Structure 1
Amino acid sequence: MNKRDNLISLYRRQGYSDVPVEFNLCPSLYETFKERTGRTDYAEYFGFSSRTVDDLRLPDVDTEKFRSYYDYELLPGTTFDVWGVAYEPGSEASKHMTRMRHPLANIDSLSRLEEYPFPDYSMASGEHQKKQVEDIHAMGLAAVGGMECTIWETSWYMRSMEELMMDMMMEDEKAEYLLDRVTEAACIRGTTAYARSGVDIIKLGDDIGMQKTIMMSKEMYRTWLKPRLKKVIDAIRKEKQDVIIIYHSCGYVKPFINDLIDAGIDVLNPVQPECMDFKEIHEEFGNRLSFNGTIGTQTIMPFGTPEEIRDTVYKNLEIAGDKGGLCCTPTHMLEPEVPWENILAYVDACKSFRK
């Protein structure tokens, strides 16, 4: 099997020949990688099994139009995404240390929300994607479409978590309108973009767990988010039935797993060991679900020894069993505290594991 076939077979729990390697580096660790290796592409250097396909390309977006939605002065160097969410500058070493600002936080009526300049993905171009998929497949690798922050996170990034939570609790029509607009865009991105271009895997996700508990009640999740996630997945599968759906949510999400399976996901990421026990989760759901993650980026990757990392990789792969069902990876981006030696230890453990 080539790397693509091996990864797909692993996720389908049909056996595997090699343990895939996968991780993301923060800016400072990327600089360390370049200094240590003299290379610029760590996915190629470490032999990753997949590559990500670019998203749909929107027509030129004038992000300055969003500035009027902020009734305060933003810091110099602030950038906007296509949804109008503002990111004030923070640490250059760590990708996540920016301050997010919410353009719809002070919207007080549905009519004002309807006037907001949402990105129009129906006008976006996906001509580049099919060629990218063909090139990735020609290398024997799996093609991946990235659509994390699928519904909930994109929505609260715009409205603010506090305001959107209150809208949902009060069954406010603003919540329904906003979530529907974001869901509509996700359906277009998943079908017009990724499914039709022939990707093997699509990554969806919204953080719905916290460190020790869930972020909202199961009733609220089933009312507001589960039907919309299912709508996105159904649209994708209508275009490409055999695509593998990976769903990302940090934190403790065990109470939601049956709902996620019902919605149509194939793989759960990242199964944070600081929040959930992989053996317990695998015993309960492993016959219906595969997994990606399990190597803690809050604990063992920054603060463990190379030996502890190796032992944890081996243990989790043994829990998953000979048929696979686990792409054993760090649970999130590797941040500046992670020693270079621990990254090498993770890679070595994956490459040296024998079933």
Structure 2
Amino acid sequence: MNSRERVLAAIHHKEPDRVPVDLGGCGQTGINASSLYALRKVWGLPEHRIRICEPYQLLGEVELDVLQKAGADVVPLWNRGTLLGTTGACTKPWEMPDGTPVWMPSDFEYDVNEKGETLVYPCGDRSAPYSAHMPKGGSFFDGIDRAEEYDEDHLTPLEDYRESFAVKDEEDCRYWEKESVRLSEHSDFAVMGVLGGMGLGDAAEIPGPFLKHPRGIRKMEDWLMAHILYPDYLDAVFQMQTEVMLKNLELYRQAVGDRIQVIWVSGTDFGTQNGLMQSREIFQKLYKPYYQKVNDWIHQNTSWKTFYHSCGAVAELIPDFIEMGVDILNPVQCSAKGMDAAFLKETYGDRIVFWGGGIDTQATLPRGTAKEVYDQVLKRLEIFSKGGGYVFAAIHNIVAGVPPENLTAMYQAVRDFRER
């Protein structure tokens, strides 16, 4: 099997010739540019500036030589725009706080203040207030709460969020078509379309780091309380977001056709380490109908499999995910309460694909020994790979500062398992 055939088998719950691997296939299976730079060095690959494919998290572009060395099978079809509102090509040289040399989008504009914080302008517009910041010594950005106080008695959800959701233009469509042809017809990798746009209540998007002047309920604590205080506000936002998403899906289908195998739909986290962000009842009432509508459209009009990312203890929601048409669940946070790997595979493995779960990126990968990493990867592969329905990836992105020997131990374990 080639990479595309391998992934297709796995996501159709068939056992492929070997376990598929994802490194860098989307914004939640990637690697921080700092760790990528170190990995290239330890693998003896040419050293050069790392191209940043997702500046908010400072994820590095995983090039062909790294894909081959890692045995990876998936590549991303990115959008032109980013969470910081930039759209330019990565041609601006920059050094991360730890000295890692990278290429940032040409319209990336920032300042460094007296505390050593890096402050970013949305859309590269220096006339707008800063929209994201990174503390001194940091390795990724966080959004800044900038919205003015809202009138609780006169809420205006459609006006507040209209700028957040836009129908894509012809330039986007041409870009999708060109890139999908390049990725699909000139390689045998599986292609994940990272369209986005359906992350209902996504904590990275609510503050609006890509907007010059966000309005309305934007602080995450206010947004979470709005589930109880102003559910009609959220419902109006979700309805508008879904309507725009369906229009963009049709444009995307026309542009890429069957040149992608997986579509990244949502990155909203519904879990914490120990439980749900909201009750299951709230999820079923506010979120599920809109996700169902989008998934139904995708399944009725394309051959794509739907990819959903949700961190945390979400085992309670997996039956709802399956019912509303989620094909693939990521990152499979096995360290969270109720997310035991064997339980998940045995209970749901024949009805939903697990994409992730391969190594704990909170503790084992950054702070464990190389042997602990190796052993955990082997154990997870043994559990999840049986009968297909699994793509190996770390639990969320590989962060900065991971010991290079732990990274190599992870991929050595994958290679050894594949060769059994």
Q: TM-score category by the smaller chain? A: 0.7 to 0.9
Q: Deviations over 1:34-66 (max 9, x none)?
A: 5442155634223221211122669xx899xxx
Q: Is structure 2 residue 131 aligned with structure 1 residue 87?
A: yes
Q: Deviations over 1:328-349 (max 9, x none)?
A: 2111111123111111111111
Does the residue aligned with 1:4 lie in a helix, a strand or coil? helix
Specify which of 309, 315, 318 is matched with residue 373 of structure 2. 309
Q: Deviations over 1:254-290 (max 9, x none)?
A: 1100000011011111111210211111111111111
Q: Is structure 2 residue 252 aligned with structure 1 residue 246?
A: no
Q: Is structure 2 residue 191 aligned with structure 1 residue 140?
A: no
Specify which of 166, 178, 202 is matched with residue 131 of structure 1. 178
Distance in 1 between residues matched to 2:6 and 2:157, nearest whole Å = 50
Q: Deviations over 1:111-166 (max 9, x none)?
A: 47526534421545311212322222231011111227621216633523332333
Q: Deviations over 1:67-105 (max 9, x none)?
A: xxxxxxxx98333369x9963321476553434325376
- What is the match of residue 226 of structure 2? 167
- What is the match of residue 5 of structure 1? 5
Q: CA deviation at 1:17?
A: 1.6
Q: Is the 8 A contact 1:56 1:121 kept in 2?
A: no
Q: Is the 8 A contact 1:14 1:324 kept in 2?
A: yes
Q: CA deviation at 1:13?
A: 1.8
Amino acid at match of 1:46: L
- What is the match of residue 152 of structure 1? 201
Q: Which has the higher helix share?
A: 1
The 5 A counterparts of 1:227-242 are 227-240=289-302, 242=303
Does the residue aligned with 1:153 lie in a helix, a strand or coil? coil
Q: CA deviation at 1:179?
A: 1.8
- What is the match of residue 264 of structure 1? 325
The 5 A counterparts of 1:1-355 are 1-23=1-23, 24-36=30-42, 37-39=45-47, 42-44=62-64, 45-47=66-68, 48-55=72-79, 77-80=119-122, 87-91=131-135, 94-101=138-145, 103=147, 106=150, 108=152, 109-111=154-156, 113-114=158-159, 117-123=163-169, 125-137=172-184, 138-146=186-194, 147=196, 150-153=199-202, 156-158=206-208, 159-193=218-252, 196-197=255-256, 198=258, 199-205=260-266, 206-240=268-302, 242-275=303-336, 276-294=339-357, 295-353=359-417, 354=419
Q: Is the 8 A contact 2:21 2:74 kept in 1?
A: no
- Structure 2 vs 1, CA of residues 34 and 315 (structure 1 numbering), >3 Å: closer, same or farther? closer
Distance in 1 between residues matched to 2:386 and 2:225, nearest whole Å = 46
RMSD over aligned Cα, in angstroms? Answer: 3.0
Q: Deviations over 1:285-310 (max 9, x none)?
A: 11111101111100111122222222
Which region of structure 1 is more displaced relative to structure 2, 181-190 or 340-349? Answer: 181-190
Distance in 2 between residues matched to 1:195 and 1:314, nearest whole Å = 41
Aligned residues: 340
Does the residue aligned with 1:89 lie in a helix, a strand or coil? strand
Distance in 2 between residues matched to 1:62 and 1:148, nearest whole Å = 16
Q: Is the 8 A contact 2:6 2:17 kept in 1?
A: yes
TM-score normalised by L of structure 2: 0.72
Q: Is the 8 A contact 1:271 1:331 kept in 2?
A: yes
TM-score normalised by L of structure 1: 0.84
Q: CA deviation at 1:172?
A: 4.4
- Structure 2 vs 1, CA of residues 238 and 103 (structure 1 numbering), >3 Å: closer, same or farther? farther
Unmatched 5+ stretches in structure 1: 64-74
- Structure 2 vs 1, CA of residues 219 and 142 (structure 1 numbering), >3 Å: closer, same or farther? same
Q: Percent identity?
A: 23
Q: Is the 8 A contact 2:350 2:389 kept in 1?
A: no
- Structure 2 vs 1, CA of residues 283 and 351 (structure 1 numbering), >3 Å: closer, same or farther? same
Amino acid at match of 1:229: Y
Q: Deviations over 1:6-49 (max 9, x none)?
A: 01111222111233333322132233245442155634223221
Distance in 1 between residues matched to 2:393 and 2:86, nearest whole Å = 38
Which region of structure 1 is more displaced relative to structure 2, 92-101 or 304-313? Answer: 92-101
